[in-house]
Structure 1
Amino acid sequence: MDQIDFTICLMLVWNSRTPYRELAETFKMSVNSIHKRVKAMVNLGVIDKFVTNLNYSAFKPIPLNVVMFGASKAKNVKGLIEKLGVNENIYTVSQHSGNLFIIHAHIRNPNEIEPLVSFIKQTAEIPELKVGLESNPRSPGAEIDTTREVKLSNTDFLIINALKDNSRKPIVEIAEEIGISTKTVRRHLDSLIENHLIDFSINWYPDKCSEVTVMIILTIKPSIKVDKTKIIKTIRDKYGQQILFTWTFSTLPNTVVLFIWVSSMKELQDIQSSLISDDFESVSLNIGIEGKIFPTWRERYLENKIKEIKGKTA
């Protein structure tokens, strides 16, 4: 994989219904070239599935995004990812060098934090678990009205369900599957998108490629007042598309987490050297080993809604 492949994946993470024509225009390539790149990544298992689900803004109150990390003291960490994934709040777990585990979860209310943390500490034997409430979890450019009540119709749920395992499914196929007109599908889909009520994404496994992915944990010295937004901007300006994701937390004010990719260990060493600064108390680099995406209460909510709808029409 190269920088173009990683950027394609990022664009599909944010919107997996992005037309290949649009991707081709972005990279000044042919549509056929984009199609071949995506197909190659699917064959490698880097892209596992094109998925659709309810956007978290469809729920009130809007769920909180929690990122937790810490080193496991377990003698044998094999199978820990799957054991953690059984919790209905956890949607990704990744293992990194030094037995560091990164866990992402969505909780419906603050009361779910304590039992979730206890579950992770006990299951993965992580006594010093850092718990971060993400400062800005929304997708780029999304402005969500957190107060407005949302009412989805049965047709909305059926459309989301029709796309859940294939977000790129054509409108004609959706209409045939549900038994409504293409015009109705398009109208509902446009409304869901416009109101940020639907998510199109991919199940992405960058650990399946030959390049190295790294989780970098930056700890800012408590005595220094630094704008974390400026830190991230400076790093992004310097390393561009190598920065895949960044996280800052309201509960961990001195922590910045970066997820990056590099093509060689020399490149990683150079990045580490450049990050060493008087502003940071520590710079921790953790090479990605394995990760997995799990269904959560959100998928179960959709599943139950579909059963309810089909039960009424049976």
Structure 2
Amino acid sequence: MLRKKCIRVKYRLRAQTVAGNNGHILGFSPLFDQINMMLFRLLGVDEIDLVLCSMLMSNSRTPYRALADKLGLSVNAIHKRIQSLIETDVIRGFTAKPSIRALGFLSVFIHGASNARSINEAMKKISTCENVYWICVGGGNHLYVGAYVRGLSKLNEVAATISDLGEIPEPVIGIVETGYNPETSPREELESLDWEIIYQLRNDSKRPISEVADSIGISAKTARRRLDKLIHNQLIELSILWYPDASNDIISVYHVHTEPKIRLNPLDLYRDYMPRLIMAIEYQNIPGEYLLLAWSRTTNDMRELYLRIEDDSRFESVKANIIFLGEVYPTWRDKLLEEKGAPQSI
């Protein structure tokens, strides 16, 4: 039986509108459309692949022509790059799920040093929790766990379960700032047809709309109209299963702190550290603490990035780590989609 610890989490309510949060694991909001696209012309080969993956995390149904235009490449070049990323297991799937706005859940990030003798066994145990969607392992057996929690009332229970399974005695429990607050923002319910469309796209978000329509038994026009509405209202999350650690590149993590009264704009961080910065995670309940995930081609690149971040006057302190392993897992969101969207047997 799991030992349920009472973990107190302060939660600062924020009523905010969703602005372009079509989501990735961690509630990452795509910001590249707001950044001067001319900068991409200065990028090297690996950097372009990084930006391409980030754009697909934002919307994996983005047409190749649109990707090509934004990156200044040909459609054929985009196709070859994506195929290469698939063949090297960097991209392992194109996914569709009901979004945070549709389901009204919290995106939570829990991390801390594990006392487990076997970190692989700890990962297996943590993955049995239906809330966990992502686990990463850093140096010093530091575990980073992403979870989707169905409401603030469930947070302590989920956090205690994860910390017990992973043998994390002093976990940091952060509610990720996604731009949407389920505690104060209205929720828009999905209709049965919406569930069916998302279900048909769940394992192949790039699937032609005509095939989706045929599988459901509706016209392509109706299916397209409903999907466009889901995308416009940010009720569907179209993303990719992205494994940057499958390449020979280095993924580093930076725990940075600012004065609690100073709130940084993630957009500014992306601009300052693009294209190396993969994600900038802000917590709703921990003022002044941010988690930055970054990409480097070599150890020299990583050293240079670390020195830049350490010298950044906005940060009071910086602690760095390196990601060695990462895995993505199905959650209750996938089970719910199966229940509500799968064809009913007669």
The alignment's TM-score, normalised by the length of structure 2, stands at: 0.81
Indicate yes or no: 2:270 matched with 1:228.
no
Name which of 274, 282, 288 aligns with 1:254. 288
Could you say which residue in structure 1 is the equivalent of 2:243?
205
Deviation at 1:148, TM superposition (A): 4.1
Distance 1:24-1:293 versus aligned 2 partners, 3 A rule: same
Question: What SS does structure 1 have at the residue aligned with 2:130?
Answer: coil
Deviation at 1:226, TM superposition (A): 5.4
Deviation at 1:286, TM superposition (A): 1.1
Q: 2-side partners of 1:144 and 1:196: how far apart?
A: 14
1:247/1:258 contact within 8 Å kept: yes
Could you say which residue in structure 2 is the equivalent of 1:73?
115
1:228/1:248 contact within 8 Å kept: no
Residue type of the alignment partner of 2:252: V
Could you say which residue in structure 2 is the equivalent of 1:122?
164
Distance 1:121-1:2 versus aligned 2 partners, 3 A rule: same
Distance 1:274-1:150 versus aligned 2 partners, 3 A rule: closer
Residue type of the alignment partner of 2:107: N
Question: What SS does structure 1 have at the residue aligned with 2:188?
Answer: coil
Q: 1-side partners of 2:294 and 2:341: how far apart?
A: 38
Q: 2-side partners of 1:56 and 1:259: how far apart?
A: 22
Distance 1:225-1:189 versus aligned 2 partners, 3 A rule: closer
2:177/2:283 contact within 8 Å kept: yes
Give ranges in structure 2 of 5+ residues lacking alignment.
1-44
Residue type of the alignment partner of 1:110: L
Name which of 127, 130, 135 aligns with 1:93. 135
Q: 2-side partners of 1:198 and 1:234: how far apart?
A: 27
Q: 2-side partners of 1:110 and 1:241: how far apart?
A: 34
Could you say which residue in structure 1 is the equivalent of 2:8?
none
Could you say which residue in structure 2 is the equivalent of 1:174?
212
Q: 2-side partners of 1:40 and 1:237: how far apart?
A: 27
Name which of 285, 296, 303 aligns with 2:320. 285
Indicate yes or no: 2:182 matched with 1:158.
no
Indicate yes or no: 2:100 matched with 1:56.
yes
1:65/1:137 contact within 8 Å kept: no
Question: What SS does structure 1 have at the residue aligned with 2:212?
Answer: helix
User: How many percent identity over aligned positions?
Assistant: 32
Indicate yes or no: 2:228 matched with 1:186.
no
Greater shift, 1-10 or 34-43, is seen at 1-10
1:132/1:252 contact within 8 Å kept: yes
Distance 1:197-1:236 versus aligned 2 partners, 3 A rule: closer
Alignment of 1:263-274 (within 5 A): 263-274=297-308
Distance 1:150-1:251 versus aligned 2 partners, 3 A rule: closer
Deviation at 1:253, TM superposition (A): 1.3
Aligned length: 301
Question: What SS does structure 1 have at the residue aligned with 2:61?
Answer: coil
Could you say which residue in structure 2 is the equivalent of 1:132?
174
Name which of 83, 100, 103 aligns with 2:125. 83
Q: 2-side partners of 1:90 and 1:15: how far apart?
A: 22
Q: 1-side partners of 2:275 and 2:341: how far apart?
A: 39
Indicate yes or no: 2:150 matched with 1:105.
no
Residue type of the alignment partner of 1:15: N
Distance 1:237-1:171 versus aligned 2 partners, 3 A rule: closer
Deviation at 1:146, TM superposition (A): 6.1
Distance 1:31-1:99 versus aligned 2 partners, 3 A rule: same
Q: 2-side partners of 1:196 and 1:254: how far apart?
A: 28
Name which of 46, 50, 53 aligns with 1:6. 50
Could you say which residue in structure 1 is the equivalent of 2:31?
none
Q: 1-side partners of 2:238 and 2:272: how far apart?
A: 30
Question: What SS does structure 1 have at the residue aligned with 2:231?
Answer: helix
Residue type of the alignment partner of 1:130: V
Indicate yes or no: 2:233 matched with 1:195.
yes
Could you say which residue in structure 2 is the equivalent of 1:303?
338
Give ranges in structure 1 of 5+ residues lacking alignment.
none
Distance 1:117-1:275 versus aligned 2 partners, 3 A rule: same
Q: 1-side partners of 2:287 and 2:214: how far apart?
A: 51
Distance 1:146-1:234 versus aligned 2 partners, 3 A rule: closer
Residue type of the alignment partner of 1:192: L
Q: 2-side partners of 1:189 and 1:135: how far apart?
A: 26
Deviation at 1:163, TM superposition (A): 0.6
